[in-house]
Amino acid sequence: MAKKADAWREYKRAAMIDMYLDVLPKIAAEVSAPIAQANKITMVSSGQGEIGAAKLTGEVLSIMNYVPEMVKTMTGVDIVKSIRTAIGG
């Protein structure tokens, strides 16, 4: 029974990581969809930091970084902590 319980626990961890990795590209697609719909983008820069496509990519990644925090705020589920626990980190 103990081995069976360990197997289920391990499956739960692997399933959680698999689901997160499966959903992550879908979230990125939704976040970047408005940019993909634009016909023209005019960017103004002070010359400090990234510009052009790198800046757009950085903005999408910045929004993606807020997703786990938003999920935690809305549901109480700490995705980052769960993934770290699941991988033993």
Could you read off the pLDDT of 31-89 as tens digits, one per residue?
889 888 889 888 777 778 787 778 888 888 888 888 889 888 998 888 888 878 777 76
Please check whether residue 22 lies inside any domain of the structure.
yes
Please check whether residue 41 lies inside any domain of the structure.
no
Please check whether residue 42 lies inside any domain of the structure.
no
Domain that holds residue 7: 2-36+53-86
Please report the pLDDT score of residue 89 as a whole number: 64
20 pLDDT tier (thresholds 50, 70, 90): confident
How many Cβ atoms are within 10 Å of 39's Cβ, its own excluded? 4
Give the count of domains, the chain.
1
Angle at 65 between CA 60 and CA 68, to 5 degrees: 130
Please check whether residue 47 lies inside any domain of the structure.
no
| Whether pLDDT at 8 is above 80 | no
- The 10 Å CB-count burial string (b at 16+, else e) for 20-33 is beeeeeeeeeebbe
Which carries the bigger pLDDT value, residue 26 or residue 5? 26
